[in-house]
């Protein structure tokens, strides 16, 4: 039986795929370069949450990474009425991304969209339910159903840019954004599309989510020092911290990119999706599922584990999650690559985070520098990894792995290469 590396990118079995543009909004900056420079300078976006929806419930663990600028402020009144928040965010970010590359005249039958989200328009369902119970069914918006559809985040972007190849919306918890890139890569190597807008979006930090995760004791309780609360791989980590973000990327075949005069930022060489088959919310403690996803990405790229220079880790700052991923990295790749944990600065943006961190991997390859992981004061003795901390590391990076894992046992990994 032939293995995947027989059909790998390096072996010429798959089309060469590249990333040609990135659009971000985060708790550090409203744009890509501002976010990147903030990370390199060691800044943190984690602060106390002062929104009335959160303070009126007197919620514990009320810290997180709020967006610096709400992209939906760019929308007119009509679009705000007809879209839920994540659709509004997706539309604005998609428009920004498409504008940034000059709205190219491409074959729309060969243009796809794949954007992941965690909760989608759940807030719209709650609002419609409240309106019906309190005021009667006539007060339910005629847009209640389309606003609540998770796939709306891809639909609104597809309509804006005229995409007709496919619209895909992975909903796989915290792996959603990274999984979107996996599907985009597959769509291109299978010849279904030449170009895909891919990424992830997520809504506001929700008070119900804070309450639920607080009751599950999964959130950091370091409230007196919010910027030090997210501590991936640190001995004293005590849970994750929520963040807000959106991240979209242009993924296309290299031939298509060069034909339209685009300058690639990095190569997307391989990808892997696996499932733990272990528990609905807890990771496999040995990291076997995430290791298989990384191996799949390595095989489809056609490189070797020894060639991987860098890993952008999922690393949420939970006791079990960080250790499981560290074991998975060691098993699939080894202990030699540098490792970075962006959630230490930006928090955990759920459905958006996999795309956000993939974009940061692309920027690392572009600039050949790794930002510092914050708050790594005492690395867990059980985690034998070269975690970059204290200051940025300038080095040579040819291949970088990006990991994302989600409740349900989802594991997604994408492997990027220097262009």
Domain ranges, ordered by start, for the chain: 18-418
From the list 183, 310, 348, 389, the catalytic residue is 348
Q: Reduced to 3 states, what is the DSSP secondary structure of residue 282?
A: coil
Quote the pLDDT of residue 3.
67
25 contacts 67 by C-beta, under 8 angstroms: yes
Cα(261)–Cα(263) distance, integer angstroms: 7
Torsion of CA 27, 97, 361, 389, to 10 degrees: -20
Taking each helix axis as running N to C, give the angle between helix 353-367 and helix 32-40, from 0 to 180 degrees, rounded to the nearest 10. 70
Mean pLDDT of the residues in the chain: 96
Quote the pLDDT of residue 124.
86
Q: Is 174 a catalytic site residue?
A: yes
Span 272-290, average pLDDT: 96
Confidence of residue 235 (pLDDT cuts 50, 70, 90): very high
Look up the CATH superfamily of 18-418.
Answer: Thiolase/Chalcone synthase (3.40.47.10)
Confidence of residue 2 (pLDDT cuts 50, 70, 90): low
Q: What is the pTM of this model?
A: 0.96
Span 161-175, average pLDDT: 97
Half-sphere exposure of 209 (CA within 13 A, CB side): 20
Q: 246-253 and 17-25: which strand pairing? A: antiparallel
Quote the pLDDT of residue 386.
98
Give per-residue pLDDT as tens, 246-256: 999 999 999 99
For 1, other C-beta atoms within 10 Å of its C-beta total 3
183 contacts 358 by C-beta, under 8 angstroms: no
Confidence of residue 4 (pLDDT cuts 50, 70, 90): low
Span 41-64, average pLDDT: 94
Q: Is residue 367's pLDDT more than 80? A: yes
Quote the pLDDT of residue 47.
97
Quote the pLDDT of residue 122.
83
337 contacts 370 by C-beta, under 8 angstroms: no
Give per-residue pLDDT as tens, 184-231: 999 999 999 999 999 999 999 989 999 999 999 999 999 999 999 999
Q: Is 348 a catalytic site residue?
A: yes
Quote the pLDDT of residue 399.
98
Q: Report in angstroms the alpha-carbon separations of 58 from 50, 61, 63, 139, 372.
A: 10, 10, 12, 30, 33
Q: Reduced to 3 states, what is the DSSP secondary structure of residue 170?
A: coil
Span 404-418, average pLDDT: 98
From the list 174, 178, 290, 410, the catalytic residue is 174
Cα(233)–Cα(213) distance, integer angstroms: 20
- With a pLDDT cut of 90, the percent of the chain lying above it is 90
Span 265-284, average pLDDT: 97
Q: Which of 77-81, 152-156, 158-162, 344-348 is predicted with the least confidence, judged by mean pLDDT?
A: 77-81
Per-position DSSP letters for 213-239, written without gaps between them: HHHTT-B---TTSGGGT--TTBTT---
Quote the pLDDT of residue 203.
92
Confidence of residue 128 (pLDDT cuts 50, 70, 90): confident
């Amino acid at each position: 039986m032939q293995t995947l590396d027989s059909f790998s990118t390096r072996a010429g079995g798959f089309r060469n795929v590249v990333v040609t543009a990135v659009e971000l909004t985060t708790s550090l900056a409203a744009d890509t370069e501002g976010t990147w420079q903030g990370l390199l300078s060691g800044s943190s976006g984690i602060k106390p949450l002062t929104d009335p929806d959160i303070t009126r419930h007197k919620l514990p663990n009320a810290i997180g990474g709020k967006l610096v600028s709400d992209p939906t402020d760019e929308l007119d009144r009509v679009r705000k009425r007809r879209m839920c928040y994540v659709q509004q965010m997706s539309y604005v970010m998609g428009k920004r991304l498409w504008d940034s590359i000059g709205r190219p005249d491409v074959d729309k039958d060969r243009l796809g969209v794949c954007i992941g989200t965690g909760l989608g328009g759940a807030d719209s369902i709650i609002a419609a339910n409240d309106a019906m119970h309190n005021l009667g069914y006539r007060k339910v918006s005629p847009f209640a159903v389309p606003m609540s559809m998770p796939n709306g985040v891809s639909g609104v972007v597809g309509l804006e840019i005229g995409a007709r190849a496919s619209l895909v919306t992975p909903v796989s918890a915290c792996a959603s954004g990274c999984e979107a890139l996996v599907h985009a890569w597959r769509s291109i190597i299978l010849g279904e599309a030449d170009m895909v807008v891919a990424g992830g979006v997520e809504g506001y930090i929700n008070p119900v989510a804070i309450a639920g995760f607080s009751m599950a004791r999964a959130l950091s309780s370091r409230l007196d020092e919010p910027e030090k609360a997210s501590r991936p791989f640190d001995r004293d980590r005590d849970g994750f911290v929520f963040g807000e973000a959106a991240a979209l990327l242009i993924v296309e075949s290299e031939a298509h990119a060069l034909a339209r005069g685009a300058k690639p930022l990095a190569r997307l060489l391989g990808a892997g999706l696996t499932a733990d088959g272990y528990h609905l919310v807890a990771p496999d403690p040995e990291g076997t599922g995430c290791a298989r996803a990384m191996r799949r990405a390595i095989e489809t790229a056609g490189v070797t584990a020894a060639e991987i220079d860098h890993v952008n880790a999922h690393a949420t700052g939970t006791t079990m999650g960080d250790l499981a991923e560290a074991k998975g990295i060691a098993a699939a790749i080894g202990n030699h690559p540098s490792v970075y944990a962006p959630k230490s600065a930006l928090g955990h943006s759920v459905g958006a985070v996999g795309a956000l961190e993939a974009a940061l991997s692309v920027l690392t390859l572009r600039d050949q520098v790794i930002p510092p992981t914050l708050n790594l004061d005492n690395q867990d003795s059980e985690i034998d990894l070269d975690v970059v901390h204290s200051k940025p590391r300038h080095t040579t990076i040819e291949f970088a792995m990006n990991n994302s894992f989600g409740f349900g046992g989802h594991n997604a990994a994408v492997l990027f290469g220097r262009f």
